[in-house]
Amino acid sequence: MGNNFTIGDFTCLAAASLAAVQLLTPANPVGSSLRLLKQLRSQEVGLTCAGDVKNGIDEYNRLHSSSVDERNSEYKSLVNSYYDLATLFYEWGWGQSFHFANRFPNETFAESIRRHEYYLASKLGLSSDPTKLKVLDVGCGIGGPMRNICKFTGCDLTGLTLNQYQVNRGNEIVKTSMPEISTKCRSVQGDFMKMPFDNETYDAAYAIEATCHAPDRVGVYSEIFRVLKPGAIFACYEWCMTDNFDATNKDHLRMKKQIEEGDGLPDICHTSTCLDAMKKAGFDILHEEDMANEEFGVGGTAWMTPLLPSWNPTTQRFQFNWLGQFLVKYALKMLEFCLLAPRGTSETQLMLQKGGIGLGDGGEALIFTPMYLMVGRVPLEKRNTSTDQ
């Protein structure tokens, strides 16, 4: 037989590894994959961007082949198309909280995600009776952070998202899995550039890797400012280019474009642009810091590690090596051929995978951060910039 390691040998090893993960760890890859297949068809029925997944991905690709100005002008279509297509893959492959976190030694992935959320919540100044406080999650996805922060603080949480599928999925999870918080945690549909809330409605607000989808940072921060009460705090993690980004470097531009295309972004701002926008919106800046630079200790891992290639078939990182990319692509094409997945599913996965590669490379090159932390307070003598301009 020799020492050659064949594709058949590798397939057997991958199958054995999958069985070991299924039987010996809390992970449930088989159950998650079966749920994915079941939900793919039901999600297609509820698409708001197009009649089916194929037309949806074609429209998304059309938007991203246009200019930055056109993408900004059509941001609602761009973002809605993206999350119509991406949400199910995110939940299947990442979990219910769609964001990154550095991972400390001896910390599980899920623990690192919750810690990152709790740290942001700790910046909101929720010192009075939390049961009387109303908090807004700006760009809530399917509500993973919102539910965790609701349980952590005891506050009343409202999550806002543009995408109706995410609204339905978030409210479904609360109803079926967390009925104990169903009276104080809900998702609503709306545009964060023009929120469906009255002035000075909320006692605090936060955004986790969400306002990067806005076509105008001053515009979205001004809307958040408008719905907050005087003295309220807004804290967010922003996706930004760092000082290490070189706009003349072709590889840097490649990474930036991959992130934009793979993650539904009109454009990516520099950290200074976001901080200036917060000030222009009216906030007094209390703190700013790139959390990607936090010390996570020996044995910890950086936020982008799950997106870097690995030959370990028991991790999601396997899909980022050349063989994993090949196997995932043609496995989804086979599911499409067998009518188990809608047409366009493999193209959607390729789009998301491209974004993952750009994020991993951009993180390693230190030109991009998904966790630029900004904390701002509404002055007690509040001036509504959205109405005074």
* Assigned token pair, 22: 């299924």
H helix or E strand, kind and range, residue 333: helix 322-337
Q: When comparing pLDDT for 385 and 194, which is higher? A: 194
Closest C-alpha to 267, from 193, 215, 191, 207: 215
Q: What is the mean pLDDT of residues 81-100?
A: 86
- Residue 376 reports pLDDT greater than 60: yes
Q: What is the mean pLDDT of residues 338-360?
A: 86
pLDDT, one tens digit per residue, over 153-197 is: 999 999 999 999 899 999 999 999 999 999 999 999 999 999 999
Spell out a b/e string for 218-235, using b for 16 or more CB atoms within 10 Å of the CB, else e: bbbbbbbbbbbeeebbbb
pLDDT band at 22 (very low <50, low <70, confident <90, very high): very low
- pLDDT attached to residue 332: 82
Q: What is the mean pLDDT of residues 122-141?
A: 92
- pLDDT attached to residue 25: 47
- Residue 389 reports pLDDT greater than 50: no
Calculate the alpha carbon distances from 342 to 87, 137, 148, 325, 348 in Å.
15, 32, 32, 19, 11
Closest C-alpha to 120, from 141, 94, 99, 89: 99
Calculate the alpha carbon distances from 292 to 70, 216, 272 in Å.
31, 24, 16
- In angstroms, the CA 112 to CA 338 distance is 38
- In angstroms, the CA 365 to CA 255 distance is 10
H helix or E strand, kind and range, residue 103: none
Please, is 89 exposed, middle or buried when counting C-beta atoms within 10 Å of its C-beta (0-12, 13-18, 19+)?
middle
- pLDDT attached to residue 40: 58
pLDDT, one tens digit per residue, over 220-267 is: 999 999 999 999 999 999 999 999 999 999 999 999 999 999 998 989
Q: When comparing pLDDT for 270 and 35, which is higher? A: 270
- pLDDT attached to residue 7: 53
Q: What is the mean pLDDT of residues 40-58?
A: 64
pLDDT, one tens digit per residue, over 69-86 is: 777 777 777 787 788 778
H helix or E strand, kind and range, residue 94: none
Please, is 277 exposed, middle or buried when counting C-beta atoms within 10 Å of its C-beta (0-12, 13-18, 19+)?
buried
